[in-house]
Chain A
Amino acid sequence: MIAVYLLLLLSAAGIIFFALTGHKDDIGTLNTRINGVSLLITIWLAITVFNQGTILSGGKAFLIDSFNVYLIVLTAFVGFTTSLFSAPYMAHEKEIGKLTDKRLKLYYSMYQGFMLAMYLVLTTNNMGIMWVSMEGATLATVLLVSLYRTPESIEAAWKYFILCGVGIAQALFGTILLYYAASQIGDSGNALLWSVLHEHATQLNPDILEIAFVFLLIGYGTKIGLVPLHNWLPDAHSEGPTPMSAVLSGLLLNDALYAVVRNKMLVDGATQTHIAGYLMMGFGLVSFLVAALFLHRQKDIKRLFSYSSIEHMGLMTFAFGMGGALATFAALLHMTVHSLVKSAIFVTVGHAAQITGTQKMSQIRGLIKTQPKVGWGLLIGTVAIAGFPPFGVFTSEFLVLLATMHSYPWLTPLLLLGIGIAFAGLFRHIQPMVFGEKPEGQNAIKANLIPVMVHLGFALWLGLAIPSFLSDWFSQATQLISGSAL
C-alpha cells in the first residue's frame, strides 16, 4: 500500500534533511509542514482501511487493521500539533541562547526519527521489527532528553537509556521465545508475522508463551512506565524540552501498550487461560495506585504530570488486562483521549515554564492573570485529565469502572480510591499555580495555543458524542482484541 511506504519514506527523508539544515531560521515551519503531510497521508490510509477492511501489504510486512489505524492517525495528529507548538518554542529557546545550532539540527532530525520509529511500530506485521523500532524510538529520543546538557538532564537521559535499554532487552528475549514457539509449528520464514501467528495461535505451545509473555510484559512494560519499572519516566519527561515531553507522554507510551496488547492477543489464543490478563491487571492496578500517591509529593510541574501519565497508563493496562468487550472499548477510548489531553497539558506547561522561567510549582503563580489563555488551558487540561465530565477521560474511566464492577467488583473501591487521590493531588498543586497572586515582572509571552484548544476540543467531543466511524473502529478493534463484541 503506497500510503504506508510514503509515510515511512517521508519521515526517513526528514531525518536526513533536518540533520543538514536544522539550524536555519524558520526550519520549524518546515518540520510542521512535513508532519502535516504525514497527517494527510495517514488520513488517506485510514479512509482506505475504512473502505477496504484490514490491509496486509508489502509481502505481509505491513499490517493495518482496525486496532492500529486510529493509533496511526492519532500519532500523526499529535506529532503535527506538537510541531506547531515546537516551532516558535524552539525558536525562542534559540534566541535566549539555551540551544546551539548543532543541537537544533539534532532536535529536528531526531523528531522525524522518532516519528519514523513510531510509525514503524504501529504498521509492521513482524514482531521482530516491532522490537527493533521500539528500541529505535528510545535511541532517537535519548539524546533529546539531555538536550539542555544540565547535570539533571544528563542523569535523566542516562537513566532513560539504561532502564529502557535493559527492559527492552527482556522484551527481545520474549520475542525470541515467541519465535521459538512459532517455528515449532510451521515454517520459520513466517514465524514472526503477527497475522500468521494470530491465525495459528491455538497451536502454539502454552508453556513457552506464558514465559515469553512475562518477559514481553516486563520489557515493553518498562516503556509503558509500569511500576516498579517506571523510574525513568518522571525524569525523562521532565528534563527534556517540552515538545519532547509532549510526544513522549502522548505517543511513546501508547505504542508500548499497543505492543503489549498485540502480544497478549497471541498469548490468550495459545494458553486459553487468563494468566496474561491477570499479570496486566496486577501491574496496571499497582501503577495506578502508586502513581496517584506519588502525585502529592511532587514539586516540579512536569514531574507531576509524568506521574499522571503513569497513573493513566496503569489504568489502561488494567483495563486491557481485564479483557471483555466493555473494558477493551474503554481502554481504546482512553488511549485516544489521554494522548490528546496529556500533550495539550504539556504544551501549556511548557508555556507556563517559559513565562515564569522555572518548573518548580512553588514559584509558579497567577497564571490566569498573567496570560489567561495559558492559565485556562492548564486548568481545563487538568480538569479533563482528572476525569471530570463531560470530557472523554470521564467516559472511559466510567466504562472501566462499569466493567470492573461487572467482573471484579471487589477491585472497584481501589479504583475509585485511586481516582480520588489523583484528583486531590492534581488540584492541590494546580490551584495555587493558576489562581494565586501574580508575582512581579511576569509577562505574557508570544504563544500559539491553538493546538491546545484543538486537542481539548477533541477530548470534549469524544466525551460528549463519539463520531460513528470512530466508535465503529473501536468496536471492530474490541472484537479483534477481546474476541467478543460490545
Chain B
Amino acid sequence: MNIESQDFYTQAILSMSALVGLTSFLMLGQGRLLRLIFVFAVQGLLLTLTTSLAAYSLDNPHLYISAVLTFALKVVFIPWMLHKQVLAMNMHRDVEALKNNTAVMLSGASLMVFSYYVLQPIIHTSSMIMLNALAVSLSVVLLGLMLMISHRQAVAHVVGFMSIENGLFFAAIVATNGMPMVVELGVAFDVLVAAILFGIFFLHIRTSIDSLDVDLMNKLHEVDK
C-alpha cells in the first residue's frame, strides 16, 4: 500500500486529512480567540472540500448536501456567531498565554501516534487505505479534547467541541462515505442547537461571574468542603 500506487482521488483525500490534522495542531497553539475561530473556519472549509471531492469521485449526490450543510454550519454560521460574541464581550484583546505550549504540542503529536496505534487492528484486517485517514480523524477528535483541556476560555472550549464534531464528520466521510441522510441531518441539527445553546450560555456565564474564564467556575466540588 504505497501512495504512489493509488489513484489521484485517494492521494487527495490523504493530503486533505493531513491538512485537517495540521489545522488541529494550529488550533492547539493559538492564544488569540479570533485567530482560533479563523483556523476553525479553515478546518470546516477543508472538510467541505473533502466532502465535495468524495461526492464527485464516488458519484454520491447525498454528499453534496452534506457538504453544503457543513459549509453553512461550520464555515459560516458557527464562526460568525462566535466571532460576534467575542467582539461583543470585548475579549479579542486578551491573549491566553499558554505556559507549556511545547508540552501541549508534543503531547498532541503523541496523541496522533496513539490514535494510529488504537486503530491498528482495523488496518490489518481490511484493505481500505481510507482507514489511515480514519486514524487521522480520531486524532483530530483527541486533539479537540486536548484543546479543551489546555485552554481556559469558554469560547476555546466551544471551538474544541466543534472541532471534535469535525473530526467525527471527517471519519464518517472517509470510512463510510457519509452516514445515512437522516442521521446526517439529525447530527447537523444537534450541532446547530448546541451552538445556539453555547451562545446563550456565554451570556449567562458572563452575567454570573463577569468573565469567560472557566477556571473561575469552581464553587461545586466533588466532596463538599
Contacts and interface: CB of A to CB of B under 8 A. Distances in A.
Chain A bound to chain B = yes
Contacts of A170: 141
Nearest to B138: A173
A208 B122 contact: yes
Interface string A142-179: 11001001111011111101100110011011001101
A156 B220 contact: yes
A192 B183 contact: yes
Interface in B36-91: none
A176 B172 contact: yes
B148 A207 contact: no
Nearest to A205: B125
Contacts of A205: 122, 125-126
B39 to A, nearest CB: 20
A72 to B, nearest CB: 20
Interface string B183-212: 100110110011001101100110011000
A471 interface: no
A143 B224 contact: no
Given A155-B217, A207-B122, A231 B222 contact: yes
Contact of A299 (B157, B165, B201, B224): B224
Contacts of B224: 297-300, 303
Nearest to A192: B180
Given A149-B204, A152-B220, A235-B220, A158 B187 contact: no
Interface string A296-317: 0111100100000000000000
A65 interface: no
Interface stretch (A44-52, A79-87, A125-133, A348-356): A125-133
B197 A169 contact: no
Given A151-B209, A172-B187, A162 B176 contact: no
A191 B183 CA distance: 12
A132 B168 CA distance: 14
B125 A207 contact: yes
Interface centre among B176, B198, B201 (most CB of A within 10 A): B176
A166 B186 contact: no
Nearest to B202: A158
A443 interface: no
Contacts of A173: 138, 141, 168, 171
A142 B209 contact: no
Contacts of A189: 180
Nearest to A61: B182
B205 A180 contact: no
Contacts of A273: none
Contacts of A294: 222-223
A136 interface: yes
B186 A211 contact: no
Interface on chain A toward B: helix, strand, loop, or mixed SS? helix
Chain B contact patch, size range? 35 or more
B194 A176 contact: no
A158 B201 contact: yes
A340 to B, nearest CB: 28
Interface string A57-78: 0000000000000000000000
Contacts of B175: 176-177, 180
B129 interface: no
Contacts of B105: none
Given A155-B220, A176-B168, A176-B172, A128 B118 contact: no
Interface centre among B177, B179, B198 (most CB of A within 10 A): B179
A165 B194 contact: yes
B132 to A, nearest CB: 14
B214 A158 contact: yes
Contacts of A129: 182-183, 186
A188 interface: yes
Contacts of B222: 231, 234, 294
Given A136-B190, A294-B223, A154 B200 contact: no
A303 B208 CA distance: 22
Contacts of B209: 151
B99 interface: no
B118 A172 contact: no
B209 to A, nearest CB: 6
Contacts of B172: 176, 179
Interface centre among B126, B180, B182, B205 (most CB of A within 10 A): B180
B175 to A, nearest CB: 5
A132 B190 contact: yes
B186 A207 contact: no
Interface centre among A159, A177, A183 (most CB of B within 10 A): A177
A358 interface: no
A128 B220 contact: no
B219 A152 contact: yes
Nearest to A183: B176
A126 B183 contact: yes
A154 to B, nearest CB: 5
Contacts of A149: 204, 208
Contacts of B165: 169
Contact of A151 (B119, B121, B171, B208): B208
Contacts of A132: 183, 186-187, 189-190
B161 interface: yes
Contact of B219 (A131, A135, A155, A176): A155
Given A184-B126, A298-B224, A128 B183 contact: yes
Interface in B90-143: 118-119, 121-122, 125-126, 138, 141
Nearest to A165: B161
Given A155-B217, A172-B187, 12 more contacts: A128-B187, A131-B186, A132-B186, A139-B190, A149-B208, A152-B220, A161-B194, A169-B141, A169-B161, A207-B122, A234-B220, A297-B223
23 contacts: A128-B182, A128-B183, A131-B187, A132-B190, A146-B204, A149-B208, A151-B208, A154-B208, A158-B205, A159-B220, A161-B194, A161-B197, A169-B141, A179-B176, A179-B179, A180-B175, A188-B176, A192-B183, A205-B125, A207-B125, A234-B222, A297-B223, A299-B224
